[in-house]
Structure 1
Amino acid sequence: MKRSHDRNAENSRRLKMAASLLVSGTAGVFIARNFFETDKKIQHAIHTSYAVGDDSFCRTMSHLLGPPLLDGNTVETLENGCQIFPAMLEAIASAQRTITFENFVFAEGEVSRRFARALAERARAGVKVHFLQDAMGCNCLHGAEMEMMKRAGVEVEIYRYMKLTRFNQRTHRKILVVDGRVGFTGGVGISDDWDGDADKPTRWRDTHYRLEGPAVAQLQQAFMDNWMETRTVVLHGDDYFPHLPPVGGTTCQVFKSSAGDGGENARLMVLLSIAAARRSIRIGNAYFIPDDLIIRTLVAARRRGVEVEIVVPGPLIDEKLARMVSVSHWGPLLRAGVRIYEYGPALYHCKYMVVDGCWSSVGSTNLDNRSLRLNAEANLNVQDTAFAEEHERLFAKDRAASREITLKAWRRRPMREKVWGLIGSVLRTQM
């Protein structure tokens, strides 16, 4: 009896040890997969013998980022919810065959109800509607809006829901494609916080883009990338990829970036665009926390005479720590002559970059590690002087509503902000 008791005690001890190791191992995998970088990234400076306006630059972008730059498109810039939401809802209402919609912020309120009703109405009319929503960006995963869409026949999928090893990887893409012919992308969230004209401190200032032409197929493919991963279903044929003849004179490229492909597409695009700048760089970005190589590349641009100006959020921001971490890294930029402005009237959510008055990149990508390395993102690159000039004017308007931060003012910022900026820098890879 004693031997049997000893064996049982030993087996129990081994089971407890195995369970403890399993829990520890699972926790270790969760932390390692979600909070530490495991992929190698570009660490060496990029130098170009060509400018963004040269054919060599366009060929390089076409081959390195994947999809080629395509002629024959039109792009319409939409500012703030008062322009963005009506254009998107009008396109949804016009759908005859398919709607594909990938989204990050979907918050309970009047705006999300409008979109849910519009998508549900089209599904009941026989349109094939596919909605991919990020888990972290939604506060109503089981709310009335989701249930309404599902009952109407909308195929609703939640991205990265309850996947612990990929909990930290999100889809930050904002993609809407109607009948495979009209596309939208940019920075907007489906939330009352984006409604109106950024005329309140609690509203977001943002830009979004309506796209027609051959490049819409590239936007559709970016949606399919995450849909196939999540739903494991291939959507194909003319309903999703119709023939798209030229409709305008704008050259465009839609590229995607995610942790699954090494996460370097967006970062590579930024580095190459800055390295190929010869006259000017204008950046408007909601979360500007560049890594050391991007900072060095911007400083190098200034040293060769490029004018660099950046608009970022001011004290009105939803992520106070992110702002303090951002500010803590401005020293080398300000010393090199980069001009930085903090936007004042409202929350600032724009994500655009204009180089040399001819090359622009707009979309969902922030200039932080989360966008450049972790999130699934999609950006629209535009090689077009008129589009760039429009964004130069847009930048001037944002700059006029901002306060310039000088090197002297940066050095005199409160000690509390300096300390929290340094502490928060430990988490820089997660921002």
Structure 2
Amino acid sequence: MNNRVPGISKSRFLILVLISSLCLLPLLGCRFLPSLHEVAESGSIEESPPSVSGPFGPLSMKESKALIDQVKEEAGPTDLLTRHVSFVEELSGQPLIAGNRVTLLSDGPETFAAMSEAIHNAKEHINLETFIIRDDEVGRPLADLLIRKRREGVLVNIIYDSFGAKKTPSEFFERMKANGLNVVEFNPVGFFDLLSWGQANNRDHRKILVVDGKVAFTGGINFYRVYSKSSSSVLRGEKDPQSRYYWRDTHVQVEGPAVAEFQRLFLETWRSQNGPDIAGGEYFPSLKKEGDSLVRVIASSPDQSISNIYAAYVSAMAHAERSVHLTHAYLVLDPGLRKAITDAAKRGVSVKIILPAFSDFWMPFHAARANYSELLAAGVRLFERQNALLHSKTAVIDGVWSTVGSSNLDVRSFLHDTEVNAVVLGTQFGGKMERMFEYDLSRSKEITPGEWEKRPVTDRIKERTARLFRYWL
């Protein structure tokens, strides 16, 4: 039997194993995620009334309690709305924000249509932050639209990640600059920078669009041709699954007071990258109540001692009482997060996870599969999405705590990347998330313990190999 790992020569494989082993040396400064116990000890989890802000600033304790009590009444008893909410607030310093309308967006066409409408209606400014933007049938129309808005007098500011846009020609960005757009390359990186084991490994993985300070978008969708059609579409004539299927992903549109948090994050990143002066824009207009959703904008970056998003996920699963439904493209788990998931299943919580059946990168795909045996043994039910390349990063827990964002459940997102997630409390939005989860579930194949144990030896080798490099994936 040929046990060679496909796509990697023997010499290259040995070099990669050596490098991974060297990460154990403190001299390289490799960071690791805190244990579940350390996350719990990082802040008080005593039950206390959470802080809630509205269009005109912080609400009174009485008003805040009334809003939380209303969600509790709809959702039924759950620690998610007491101890967990207080813990995340203490750790992140971000209050819940009331008065928002949150629209759930599925796949590229629906998301791009909503974004295009917002951009068309822009009167004052457009702030865009993204990981990938390509010079293709998605990126070019966006660039044309932004240039047109700039000619109309709208201020346009763009942040793109240097590594994420490595396949985009510089002329694409130079054209935008020549037409008056302010464009910043996040953490410019060359080949030799990648060997420095330093800041070059820290990427901007956020996806944020803010228009006139009044509407914001975030989620997992990039500006790339794989999103040009619905994930139910197929490219005829293509045999490779990575090329044949469009990507399944999720975004949200937020209107209301929470938009100011996305704006603040964009401007902080702009300043951190020494972007040109963009003063003069009305970035923080007065915002009114647009809906009834309670939103917390959770951001994480490499300079945090504990990733706020990581802690929020661990705490939410630790306090789950009925269900944990995850839809994630990359599930490269550390011991703490894996324990939070398995502990939930062991105490009787219904834990279901939808994962990709194939991926754009084999290493994270097989690193995720390296967790399957332990998860299945604990009672977690695993499903693989068929006929689409799954790229979503979403969760809905107990039908009331939902999150959509850029962060994967992997070490890279929690240690190395700049990320943002929108957390929404409430059964109305939670119900929409559950229906989306059921839709993806109906198009997925369940992985049973018996079937999993029969997988070929070559797959097991790939899993063990990929797991060695989970720190960088």
**TM-score, normalised relative to structure 1:** 0.88
2:164 paired residue among 125, 137, 143? 137
8 Å contact kept, 1:35–1:168: no
Give 3-state SS (helix, strand or coil) of 1:184's partner: strand
Report the equivalent of 2:466: 424
The share of aligned pairs that are identical, in percent, is 33
Identify if the C-alpha distance between structure 1 residues 373 and 52 changes in structure 2 by more than 3 Å, giving closer, same or farther. Answer: farther
Identify if the C-alpha distance between structure 1 residues 31 and 413 changes in structure 2 by more than 3 Å, giving closer, same or farther. Answer: closer
- Describe how 1:21-100 pairs up with structure 2 within 5 A: 37-38=30-31, 41-44=34-37, 51-100=78-127
Give yes or no for the alignment of 1:355 onto 2:397. yes
Give 3-state SS (helix, strand or coil) of 1:167's partner: helix
How far did 1:262 drift?
3.0
Report the equivalent of 1:374: 416
- Describe how 1:333-412 pairs up with structure 2 within 5 A: 333-412=375-454
How far did 1:38 drift?
3.2
Give 3-state SS (helix, strand or coil) of 2:157's partner: strand
Give yes or no for the alignment of 1:321 onto 2:363. yes
How far did 1:143 drift?
3.8
Give yes or no for the alignment of 1:298 onto 2:341. yes
8 Å contact kept, 2:33–2:334: no
How far did 1:230 drift?
0.7
- Describe how 1:227-238 pairs up with structure 2 within 5 A: 227-232=270-275
8 Å contact kept, 1:371–1:377: yes
Give 3-state SS (helix, strand or coil) of 2:469's partner: helix
| Unaligned 5+ runs, structure 2 | 1-22, 48-77, 235-243
Count the aligned residue pairs.
401
Letter in 1 for 2:463: G
How far did 1:176 drift?
0.2
1:287 paired residue among 320, 330, 337? 330
Report the equivalent of 2:353: 310
Report the equivalent of 1:278: 321
Letter in 1 for 2:325: R
Report the equivalent of 2:307: 264
Alignment partners' CA distance in 2, 1:102 and 1:33: 34
Give yes or no for the alignment of 1:187 onto 2:187. no
Q: Which has the larger radius of gyration?
A: 1
8 Å contact kept, 2:261–2:297: yes
8 Å contact kept, 1:106–1:139: no
How far did 1:202 drift?
2.5
Identify if the C-alpha distance between structure 1 residues 237 and 203 changes in structure 2 by more than 3 Å, giving closer, same or farther. Answer: same
Alignment partners' CA distance in 1, 2:395 and 2:27: 29
Alignment partners' CA distance in 2, 1:157 and 1:140: 16
Alignment partners' CA distance in 1, 2:382 and 2:24: 35
Alignment partners' CA distance in 2, 1:245 and 1:117: 31
Letter in 1 for 2:329: A
> Deviation digits for residues 406-430 of structure 1, max 9, x if unmatched?
1112211110110111112110111
1:223 paired residue among 252, 266, 271? 266
8 Å contact kept, 1:140–1:146: no
How far did 1:237 drift?
7.3
1:331 paired residue among 366, 370, 373? 373
Alignment RMSD, CA only?
Answer: 2.3
**TM-score, normalised relative to structure 2:** 0.80
1:109 paired residue among 136, 143, 160? 136
Alignment partners' CA distance in 1, 2:79 and 2:218: 23
How far did 1:235 drift?
5.4
Letter in 2 for 1:89: S
